[in-house]
């Protein structure tokens, strides 16, 4: 069996390696990865492992994002310090959901469950099933705030979201700006990935609001987006350019 560990805490990653070896010394650990971005790149460039040991909270977001960016049909064992993501993990056909600190008993239970599966996991096309399950859960409108006033904004009218320190603004296609009570990471979970894309650490854009895409220095791209002011530069980070092109050309 071949395993890839995705864990951004060094001590936790080392512990998982030790526990896997204690469970079965013949299991081959192909890689230990720390982020969503690195995991996506690894899975694009290598043969997929038999199972992913996957932490949910990573340095660049929630690991569920991985499956929106790449086709992956093999089992996943989630490890996390939080219990509120169990339903989300279940919808992604995970083998198990282990709360930290991970014990040998819990890990052994997950691997034993994997071995006992009667239906080959590879026969399940997660890339088609997961979006179908989630489709009805994406937000259709948001509550935006200007001063003490609250406004309803339909998701289709949103041009982009922009984070500034701890504040996140919702900008509609007319250029109106509202405070949104969400983090960028939470918005990624709430928005339909067919229409919204995270360009960098601070901006999520609606594909219907993109007017023009131009090359920008350092191998990046610059967008002209409805609702943005002339002073605002909406830039796609170099690391996400390839994924953006795949998303835009879907």
What mean pLDDT do residues 168-197 have? 93
pLDDT (0 to 100) of residue 215: 92
- Reported as a pLDDT band with limits 50, 70 and 90, residue 129 is very low
pLDDT (0 to 100) of residue 29: 95
pLDDT (0 to 100) of residue 156: 94
Instruction: Delineate the domains of the chain, giving CATH numbers in brackets.
Output: 2-135 (3.40.50.2300), 138-248 (2.40.50.1020)
Q: Which of 7, 8, 49, 16 has the alpha carbon at shortest distance from 30? A: 49
- Reported as a pLDDT band with limits 50, 70 and 90, residue 87 is low
CA 55/CA 23 separation, integer angstroms: 19
pLDDT digits (tens, 9 = 90+) for 183-214: 999 898 889 988 999 999 999 999 999 999 99
pLDDT (0 to 100) of residue 96: 86
Chain length of the chain = 250
- Reported as a pLDDT band with limits 50, 70 and 90, residue 122 is very low
pLDDT (0 to 100) of residue 133: 45
Q: Residue 147 in contact with residue 176, Cβ under 8 Å?
A: no
Evaluate if residue 21 carries a pLDDT over 60: yes
Average pLDDT across the chain, whole number = 87
pLDDT digits (tens, 9 = 90+) for 106-118: 999 999 888 876 4
Q: Which of 54-63, 126-135, 158-167 has the highest mean pLDDT?
A: 158-167
- Tokens for 42, please give them: 């690894």
CA 42/CA 36 separation, integer angstroms: 10
Give 133 or 98, the one with higher predicted confidence. 98
Evaluate if residue 48 carries a pLDDT over 70: yes
Q: Residue 56 in contact with residue 85, Cβ under 8 Å?
A: yes
Evaluate if residue 233 carries a pLDDT over 90: no
């Amino acid at each position: 069996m071949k395993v890839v560990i995705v864990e951004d805490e060094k001590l936790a990653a080392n512990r998982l390696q030790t526990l896997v070896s204690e469970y079965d010394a013949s299991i081959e650990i192909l890689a230990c990865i720390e982020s969503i971005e690195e995991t996506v790149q690894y899975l694009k460039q290598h043969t997929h492992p038999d199972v992913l040991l996957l932490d949910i909270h990573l340095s660049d977001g929630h690991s569920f994002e991985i499956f929106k960016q790449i086709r992956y049909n093999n089992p996943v064992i989630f490890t996390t310090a939080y219990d509120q993501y169990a339903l989300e993990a279940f919808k992604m056909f995970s083998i198990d959901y282990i709360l930290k600190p991970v014990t040998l008993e819990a890990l052994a239970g997950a691997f034993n469950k994997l071995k006992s599966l009667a239906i080959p996991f590879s026969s399940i096309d997660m890339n088609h099933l997961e979006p179908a399950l989630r489709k009805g859960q994406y937000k259709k409108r948001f509550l935006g705030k200007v001063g003490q006033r609250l406004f309803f904004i339909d998701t289709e009218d949103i041009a982009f979201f922009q984070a500034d320190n701890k504040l996140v603004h919702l900008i509609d296609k007319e250029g109106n700006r509202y405070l949104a009570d969400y983090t960028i990471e939470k918005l990624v979970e709430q928005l339909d990935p067919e229409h919204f894309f995270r360009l960098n650490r601070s901006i999520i854009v609606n594909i219907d609001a993109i007017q023009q895409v131009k090359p920008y220095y350092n191998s990046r791209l610059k967008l002209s987006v409805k609702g943005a002011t002339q002073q605002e530069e909406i830039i796609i980070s170099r690391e996400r350019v390839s994924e953006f092109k795949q998303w835009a050309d879907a």
